[in-house]
Amino acid sequence: MITKELVAASTEPLILSLLAGGENYGYALTQEVKRLSGDKISWTDGMLYPVLHRMEHRGLIKSRWGESESGRKRKYYSLKKDGKTAMAKHHEQWSLVHSVLAGLRKGQYA
């Protein structure tokens, strides 16, 4: 399992990256993260919504109410222009951290 701190830090970049693939709703986002991480990233599901609302307040994403195929009301979220910029920044920063860690690891095992 990934630590709580890392999960919290990665929530925003993960949401932005998932929404880059098209608009989606909260439950589907949590399921997608579970699937992609092999159940290793575990969000307290309800905690996703305050994060989504904060991101919406900051102008990174926007939302609209719609209906699912089963007729259930859903709130769909999608990326805004600022969200795309933020996502690019996150990718850059996480890639940097990853490359530093990978380099250090290589040095240790060389």
Regarding 35 and contact with another protein (CB under 8 A), the answer is no
Regarding 46 and contact with another protein (CB under 8 A), the answer is yes
Residues 79 and 24: beta-carbon distance below 8 Å: no
Q: Of the two residues 76 and 79, which places its CB atom closer to another protein in the complex? A: 76
Distance of CA 44 to the CA centre of its chain: 14
Residues numbered 89-108 forming contacts with another protein, rule: CB under 8 A: none
- Minimum Å gap between C-beta 12 and another protein is 14
CA distances (Å), origin 87, targets 17, 30, 65, 90, 91 = 7, 18, 24, 5, 6
Interface contacts to another protein, rule CB under 8 A: 26-27, 30, 44-47, 49-51, 53-54, 57, 72-75
